[in-house]
Chains A and B, each alone.
Chain A
Amino acid sequence: MPRTLRRAIVALALIGLMIGLEFGFERLVTDAAWRQLALFAMVNVIVALSLNVINGMAGQFSIGHAGFVGVGAYTGAVVASSLHLWLYQHHHSESAPLFHNSFLVMPIVLLASGAVAGLFGLVVGLPSLRLKGDYLAIVTLGFAEIFRLVIATAQTGGDAGGGLSGALATLGGQNGYAGPNASQLAKTATDPEVAARLLSYENSGVPQYAGPFWIFGAVVVFTIIAWRLKFSGWGRALRALREDEIASAAVGVDPTRYKVTSFVIAAIGAGVAGGLLASMRDGNPTIQPDQFTFNYSFDAITMVILGGSGSVTGAVVGGVFVTFTVKMIEQLQGLESIQALKAAHPSLDLNALRMVVYATVLITLMILRPEGLFGERELFGKAKSDNKKKAPPSGEPEPATVAATVATVAVPAVPEETEAK
């Protein structure tokens, strides 16, 4: 099969590229801060891609996406730490995470992060997607804040007690979750050998298994998924739904079902992004509740809107653009002239100034391109253009088959034939 063959070749090439990145990334980008930024941008791309499903494609307005990223991050951090400690204890691997071990750890981490976040998505989405517009926005915001505050205000230290509060306490409260607590575990170990082994563990936070291979790989996979979702009957139904809910229902597209499904898919994507964020190499080895404030949700919305609501390419570009712009403005503060300005006027709040610059950039962009960089279009060929006359039929248009179907129309056929029961 040529299609299968083509896919296999592309997949192999991509895997090769990812392995190359895994080992060559440090040489490619020598500054660890920039490496961290690049990987963080990639995680943000996944966040933007997933938010694009619900905010862009389905036309709902969720402003609590950071909550799902947070759920995924905490799940991922706990799972990765536990697996890492288990590997350390039973397989005598080192304290530092190894690449070959990541093939055991990361799939489980990402599955768990996606599944838990997806479950939360279902629980939040099922009742709230009957609501419209602003009400949904409030529910999602509420979810994200409740999640963050539950973790941030958990009682930590000492005996936090059992049950839910005990479990929450192990997540570290406001200080964040910083890897497995090996010494705590050693106390309860009955086998002295195991206890000694556990005590010798050097905790350096959440094990950072997610190197460039996993992060860039996930970006590629999620871009393909988002693309295929958009250019499928499902994506088409979502667009119809966004245009007219009542008319969609009148032709058999159940609005609630489609909205909940897209919400859950968005939550799963955010969860996976969180799982990657938690164990990102060169990243912060602790996961803190303050990483998932409303600011982060807002950044995600900015990425989607800036790139163009509903556009997969737009989400990718928006994710990278926003991450780097924020960083650039931070870098500006290091400039000598700015430093001199700060020295001259000690009362000047540079942090506030940063937000002014950021806001100016956003406002300018929105004035110049109100529909976002890409609108709903894509970068490559399959333009789903708004008003262009020659929009190709959706799906993956293959000229030959389209021509063939047009040809068969000439022959009077029985429509019922195709309706298999």
Chain B
Amino acid sequence: MSSAYREEDASHQATASVPVLDLRGVTKTFGGLRAVSDVTFAVPERSIFGLIGPNGAGKTTLFNLITGVYKADVGTIRFRTTDLMPLKPAQIARVGVARTFQNIRLFGQLTVLENVLIACEHKRKAHLLSALLRTELFFRDEEEMKKRALELLAIFDLDSMADEVSTSLSYGNQRRLEIARAMMLDPKLLLLDEPAAGMNYGEAEGLKTQIRWLRDRFDLTVVLVEHNMQVVMGVCEDLHVLDHGETIAHGSPEVVRKHPKVLAAYLGEDADEQLDAEAAARPNENAGQGADEGSSAAPETTELS
């Protein structure tokens, strides 16, 4: 009896220390192109994890590998203790990995409520036959699902437009609806693909608090792919930087933003020269991505701000 107890205890401890998402040596090639090359990282429970890199670095490909849209050539991808590699996208969604898309992918002709309802279709207790016979279970199920969906929409402040066709929503509301739909899966891991795309400074600031709020409200782990450094640096606890499919840096935002390889990737080949130039003269203008938020005060040293 005691041994069984101990075993249970041990397994419990094991799950506690197991990262939510664990990638090891993941490689994916398309023809001659190595889109993702030997990427290894682990995302701890309840963290907000950023995946960054210049365009074409393989960030979205990595998301597609995690969610099963593509199959990795080599490596392992684990969600807690579940091996995601043999699973199909729908199965991966069901074990608790939800995602949003770079270009919003809502079900355009469906209403807001219906969009969210699709995400709990697999939890339906009443199956096709009871839908055909319109049994009590069917009605109860439908009612329960609708209730849950409306509750969720209320959390995202979308309940007032539940019956509107989703394409009629404003851009910001569509983004929120996509997240609400993902949350209907009751996920433990949420992958956000460029949530700040198309947002202005103020909206991006709002997004930071929203992401933290999401994590706390739904007890989540969040992984985000993002170009907007304001968001990435402000919200992520851990960063993983890719360039041409390869890992070039990993660590906290403070470490990553000063990492020479990262600077080179973002600022170009001549980053060293720039560093020299900046050391020589206080720069007012900064090349590349870092200049996006140029309105802020000029940085003391070169870093991604």
A residues near B (Cβ < 8 Å) are 225, 228-229, 232-234, 236-237, 239-240, 243-244, 246-257, 261, 386-387, 389-396, 401-402, 405-406, 408-409, 413, 415-416, 418-420
Q: A240-B110, A243-B109, A415-B148 are in contact. Are A232 and B101 (CB under 8 A)?
A: no
- For A237, list chain B residues within 8 Å (CB): 118, 121
Contact between A253 and B107, CB atoms less than 8 A apart: no
Interface centre among B106, B142, B148, B182 (most CB of A within 10 A): B142
Interface residues of B in 172-227 (CB under 8 A from A): 181-182, 184-186
CA distance A312 to B84 in the complex (A): 40
Q: A233-B145, A418-B148 are in contact. Are A389 and B117 (CB under 8 A)?
A: no
Chain B interface size range = 35 or more
Distance of B191 from chain A, by nearest CB (Å): 9
- Output the nearest chain B residue to A236 by Cβ-Cβ distance: B114
CA distance A386 to B168 in the complex (A): 11
Distance of B13 from chain A, by nearest CB (Å): 23
Contact between B165 and A249, CB atoms less than 8 A apart: no
Contact between B117 and A236, CB atoms less than 8 A apart: yes
- Does B290 interact with chain A (Cβ within 8 Å)? no
B residues near A (Cβ < 8 Å) are 67-69, 88-91, 93-94, 98-99, 101, 105-111, 113-115, 117-119, 121-125, 128, 131-132, 134, 138-139, 141-148, 150-152, 154, 159, 162-165, 168, 181-182, 184-186
- For A409, list chain B residues within 8 Å (CB): 147, 150-151, 154, 159
- For B118, list chain A residues within 8 Å (CB): 236-237, 240, 248, 251, 253
Instruction: Give me 9 other A-B pairs in contact (C-beta within 8 A), A233-B121, A247-B107, A251-B182 excluded.
Output: A236-B118, A251-B184, A252-B119, A253-B121, A254-B91, A389-B163, A390-B163, A395-B146, A405-B147
The 6 closest A-B pairs by CB, nearest first: A249-B89, A254-B90, A232-B131, A251-B119, A247-B105, A252-B93
CA distance A409 to B190 in the complex (A): 24
- Output the nearest chain A residue to B191 by Cβ-Cβ distance: A250
- Output the nearest chain A residue to B89 by Cβ-Cβ distance: A249
CA distance A415 to B146 in the complex (A): 12
Contact between B146 and A405, CB atoms less than 8 A apart: yes
Contact between A418 and B147, CB atoms less than 8 A apart: yes
Contact between A251 and B93, CB atoms less than 8 A apart: yes
CA distance A210 to B123 in the complex (A): 41
CA distance A236 to B138 in the complex (A): 14
- For B125, list chain A residues within 8 Å (CB): 420
- Majority DSSP secondary structure for residues of B touching A: helix
Distance of B68 from chain A, by nearest CB (Å): 8
- Output the nearest chain A residue to B90 by Cβ-Cβ distance: A254
- For B107, list chain A residues within 8 Å (CB): 239-240, 243-244, 247-248
Distance of B195 from chain A, by nearest CB (Å): 15
- Majority DSSP secondary structure for residues of A touching B: helix
- For A413, list chain B residues within 8 Å (CB): 151
Contact between B132 and A229, CB atoms less than 8 A apart: yes
User: Can you list 25 residue pairs at the A/B interface with Cβ under 8 Å?
Assistant: A232-B128, A232-B131, A236-B110, A239-B107, A239-B109, A239-B110, A247-B107, A249-B90, A250-B99, A251-B98, A251-B181, A251-B185, A252-B93, A253-B122, A254-B88, A254-B90, A257-B90, A391-B111, A391-B163, A393-B162, A395-B142, A415-B186, A418-B144, A419-B123, A420-B125
- For B122, list chain A residues within 8 Å (CB): 252-253
Contact between A236 and B121, CB atoms less than 8 A apart: yes
Distance of A39 from chain B, by nearest CB (Å): 25
CA distance A237 to B139 in the complex (A): 17
CA distance A228 to B131 in the complex (A): 7
- Output the nearest chain B residue to A232 by Cβ-Cβ distance: B131
- For A391, list chain B residues within 8 Å (CB): 111, 163, 165
- Output the nearest chain A residue to B93 by Cβ-Cβ distance: A252
Q: A232-B138, A251-B119 are in contact. Are A261 and B128 (CB under 8 A)?
A: yes
Contact between B93 and A249, CB atoms less than 8 A apart: yes
Contact between B110 and A392, CB atoms less than 8 A apart: no
- For B106, list chain A residues within 8 Å (CB): 244, 247
Contact between A250 and B89, CB atoms less than 8 A apart: yes
- For B94, list chain A residues within 8 Å (CB): 252
CA distance A409 to B158 in the complex (A): 12
CA distance A237 to B94 in the complex (A): 15
CA distance A393 to B165 in the complex (A): 11
CA distance A359 to B111 in the complex (A): 37
- For A234, list chain B residues within 8 Å (CB): 121, 128, 131
- For B138, list chain A residues within 8 Å (CB): 232
Contact between A233 and B147, CB atoms less than 8 A apart: no
Q: Contact partner of B143 among A239, A243, A401, A419, CB < 8 A?
A: A401
CA distance A261 to B121 in the complex (A): 15
CA distance A389 to B94 in the complex (A): 31
CA distance A219 to B148 in the complex (A): 36
CA distance A331 to B144 in the complex (A): 55
CA distance A121 to B99 in the complex (A): 34
Distance of A336 from chain B, by nearest CB (Å): 51
- For B124, list chain A residues within 8 Å (CB): 233
Distance of A398 from chain B, by nearest CB (Å): 8
CA distance A41 to B257 in the complex (A): 72
Distance of A202 from chain B, by nearest CB (Å): 41
Distance of B197 from chain A, by nearest CB (Å): 17
- For B186, list chain A residues within 8 Å (CB): 415-416, 419
Q: Contact partner of B111 among A247, A252, A393, CB < 8 A?
A: A393
